[in-house]
Amino acid sequence: MQQLRKSTVSRAISVLLAAALLIPQCLVYVSGAAAQQGQNVPAVTVVPFQDLTGKASVALLREATAASALALEDSKEYLVTSIADLDRELAALRLAPPLSQAQQARLGERLHVEKVLMGSVAGLAVDARTGRAHVELHLMMLDVSIGEYLDGGAVAIDTNAIPGFNGDVSQVTHEALRAAAEAAVSKMLSSSVRRGAVELVDDQGNINVNLGTSDGIEVGTELLVMRPTWQPDVEQVIMRRVGIIRVSEIESNLSVARATEGSIPTSGDRIYRLYKPYSVVQAEQRSQKIKNSGKMIAGLLLLLGLAAMVNGPTTTTPSGVSSCQLVQGASGQSPFVQIKFRTGSTGSSKTHGFLVFRSSNNPDFPAVAQYLVEMIQGFATAYTDDPARNDTTTGMTVPFQYLDTTTSTGALTAGNVTATFIHPSMVEGTRYFYRVRRISDPLANPGSNPPIGTAQTVIPIITPTPDWRVITEASNSAGPVTFFTVPLLSAPTSGQSNLLTTGVTFSWQTVTGANEYIVEVFPSTDPTGQQSPVLQSAVQRSTGTTIMSTTLNGPFSASTSYYWRVGARQSADPSKPQSGNKTGWLYSEIRTFSTSTTPPPPPGSSTTAQSRKMPVRQGGFWGAGHRGGH
């Protein structure tokens, strides 16, 4: 017995010594693993925000800065440095906000971060009677290694009125700033463009880049070209600026650009989309409005100059396109594109048909025969475009009659428009734009003068009779609408049973053209998903993988059937998809699954051990499941 006691004590001491030696090693391993896991998450510092309103206090700007830093942390996309580290380096560098672009890059290098976020409060107002708040927040993210702003977001939000508001403006301001920060960070992350590369430069100076419409690139987008260069004196790779290129042609995953500034790129150069600050975007929009006004005035002067000869305009007011979006009848059905027309009451009575034009990736395309995809007879308010349709229409004619005012009796005169056109099928991931022209009574007497404006353009496969004045000018360019198909569900499989009530993992195949997804779960009483879901995931941003998954922790009821589906959308499209009576997502098919009869036993219980066929010790002896000796 004494020997047994000594043996037991020795064993206990040995265990304690082993634990003392192993615990530090385990801690080192865990911390190393955690550090390794965090290596892929870029670090960012958030510098104090600026005031563009002239009314924000220092405390309010600090609150806006803190709210944006918290929103970045919550996104799990960045690691935010502490305020203490920021203040220390600002003092060491003798810098005081607001910081210039070069100062931000210098600060980022000192803090060893990849990004520097700056922001500004552009609008802030609180209704003292209702508690309703309005906040405008602008964010810009500087890439330290590049020295340029590559990402950003500008939002304006309005909070709801507060019933029985007691006048506590500070609390309302706090909540509004937090909501604005979350919205701005979300917009910045969703509109971020991946870094690309130059794949080829031909002898004509055409630069092929591996970025396309699926990356948010458009015709006219300016891209920054940088070249990684080894710097021997500092023994590291430094990014050197090559120049700026502008996209001229674009496909889903490829762009063709021309150099507009600096040197001609070479294969392997890095490509970055520059972020345009909100103030620059506003200035460009004002400039475009001035240009459009100038064109309108010039057109009016041209019309007025011809008025003496033709006694009035030659065509009626063009129709507009009020909306353009992907639509599906119900979950799982193939989508189509629906565009809606907007025509004035006067034009409606004299409309005999429509010409529908479509272009891929180019919002400024001309409404000419090359882009004609459909001709509609009679008055219409909408057009449904079938993405799978791929055919040629030859010699289609829309006949009509109009009142010829050249005769004293106003005789009815026959007219028509004949066209031959091709309707190509749509390509997944491609962004489409639409325009329409209306077939209408001419306002001036046909034949009294040659067509004016764009009507003088000769289009061989669109033939109007008596002349071009029976076709109005083109509408606005509507879109883009990105074509994509419904996601394909992976797991749970259809009808799968005995799933845990504590959590279910859902997985699906991503689709080209969509960049955001959501999982929705419905009760057994709603097999078609017509009502609000009982559970749904947060919006899942595409990571570039073909399979995505997320886990909903429920809780799910035991021995219960549920239905689930996945919604997809392209966040850059101005109009969200419509599925049945719901707007916002294009949905997959709906599948069912059921949970297990009872919840799982708590970890470590005997039930758990038995279910895993673990040996259970009883009365000092191992049960039959144990085959060891004694």
Q: Bridge partners of 422? A: 392
Residue 248: the pLDDT is 84
**What is the spatial distance between Cα 495 and Cα 561, in angstroms, rounded to a whole number?**
9
Residue 457 has pLDDT above 90, yes or no: no
Q: Does the pLDDT value for residue 102 go beyond 70?
A: yes
Return the pLDDT at 7: 45
- Round to whole Å and give the CA distance between 159 and 349: 44
Q: In the predicted model, what is the mean pLDDT of residues 586-594?
A: 96
Q: Confidence class of residue 233 from pLDDT cuts 50, 70 and 90?
A: confident
* pLDDT for residue 621: 37
Of 311 and 14, more confident: 14
* Chain mean pLDDT for the chain: 80
pLDDT band at 178; cut points 50, 70, 90:
very high
**What's the pLDDT tens digit per position in 376-427?**
998 888 999 999 999 888 889 998 887 776 555 567 788 889 988 989 999 9
Predicted local confidence at residue 213, as pLDDT: 81
**pLDDT confidence tier of residue 462, bands split at 50, 70 and 90:** confident
pLDDT digits (tens, 9 = 90+) for 359-378: 988 888 888 888 899 999 98
What is the sign, positive or negative, of the torsion defined by CA atoms of 585, 70, 104, 97?
A: positive
Helices (H) and strands (E) in the chain, counts: 8, 36
Q: CA 561, CA 595: separation in Å to the nearest integer?
A: 7
**How much is the pLDDT for 289?**
58
Please tell me the distance from the alpha carbon of residue 194 to that of residue 573, in angstroms, as a whole number: 18
Nearest to 153 by CA among 125, 178, 119, 122: 119
* CB atoms near residue 254 (< 10 Å): 17
- Under the banding of pLDDT at 50, 70 and 90, the label for residue 32 is very low
Does position 20 have pLDDT exceeding 80, yes or no? Answer: no
What pLDDT score was predicted for residue 288? Answer: 54
Q: Which residue in 195, 194, 288, 211 sits closest to 257, CA to CA?
A: 211
Percent of the chain with pLDDT over 70: 77
The reply to whether CATH 2.60.40.1220 applies to domain 488-595 is yes
**Confidence band (pLDDT; 50, 70, 90) for 171?**
confident
CA 336 → CA 427, 463, 486, distances in Å? 12, 29, 11
Ranges of CATH 2.40.10.410 domains, the chain: 196-275
What token pair was written down for 361?
Answer: 């990736």
DSSP 8-state secondary structure symbol assigned to residue 471: B
Q: Where in the chain is the domain with CATH 2.60.40.1220?
A: 488-595
Instruction: Tell the CATH superfamily of the 196-275 domain.
Output: FlgT, C-terminal domain (2.40.10.410)
Instruction: Work out whether the CA dihedral 302, 305, 308, 309 comes out positive or negative.
Output: negative
pLDDT digit string, tens, across residues 498-513: 999 999 999 999 999 9
Rounded (10°) CA dihedral 485, 486, 492, 494: -110
Task: Check if the beta carbon of residue 108 is closer than 8 Å to that of residue 144.
Answer: yes
Q: For 553-630, where are the E strands, in sequence order?
A: 561-569, 578-579, 582-583, 586-587, 591-595, 617-618, 621-622
Look at strands 496-499 and 591-595 and give their pairing. Answer: parallel
Reply yes or no: is the peptide bond before residue 387 cis, omega within 30 of 0. Answer: no
Q: Is the pTM of this model over 0.85?
A: no
Cα distances from 201 to residues 197, 204, 215, 267, 586, in angstroms, run: 11, 8, 21, 7, 38
Q: Is the pLDDT of residue 174 over 50?
A: yes
pLDDT at 62: 92
Specify whether the backbone of 220 is left (phi greater than 0), alpha (psi in -120 to 50) or beta: left
Q: What is the dihedral of CA 30, 34, 36, 38, to 10 degrees?
A: 180
More confident residue, 356 or 306: 356
Give start and end residues of each alpha helix (H) in 118-204.
169-190
Q: What contacts 549, CB < 8 A, 6 or more positions away?
A: 490, 491, 505, 506, 507, 508
**Which CATH number applies to 43-190: 3.60.40.10, 3.30.420.40, 3.40.50.10610, 3.40.50.1110?**
3.40.50.10610
Residue 620: pLDDT band by 50, 70, 90 thresholds? very low
Q: pLDDT grade, residue 342 (50/70/90)?
A: confident
Q: What is the mean pLDDT of residues 536-549?
A: 92
Residue with tokens 């048909």: 353
